[in-house]
Amino acid sequence: MPTNLTPAEVERIATLARLELTPEETALFSQQLGAILSYFEDLRRADTTDVAPTAQIAGVEASALRQDASRPSLERDVLLREAPDVDLDAGLFTVPRVIGS
C-alpha cells in the first residue's frame, strides 16, 4: 500500500474526480494523499470477519416509504435563475457543444 502516490496516480484520480489540478497541487497531493492513505492502514488491525458493513444509521429503516405519487416541484424559471448560462426561451441549461464540432 502506498506511502506516496505517483504524480500519474494523482492525475488519474483527478481525472475521475473531474479536477484540473495545477502541477503544484499534483506534487503536494502526491505526498499528502499518500500520508492520509497510510493513516487509513490502521483499519487492517480490526478483525472484521463476518461483520456486516454499516452504510446508514436508523433513518432509512425507520421511515416508511412514501406513496409513489406525483407532487408539485419548483417552477422551471426558478430553477434556471441561478444557472451561469441558460436558454430562457427554450427553458434549458446551456453547456459547451458535446457532439460534433
Tell me the per-residue interface mask from 56 to 75 with another protein, x by CB under 8 A, - otherwise. xxxxx-xxx-x-------x-
Interface with another protein (CB under 8 A), residue total: 54
Collect all residues with Cβ–Cβ distance below 8 Å to 85 and sequence separation of at least 6: 93, 94, 95
Residues that bind another protein (CB under 8 A): 1, 10, 13-22, 25, 29, 32-33, 35-37, 39-40, 42-46, 48, 51-60, 62-64, 66, 74, 78-79, 81-85, 93, 95-98
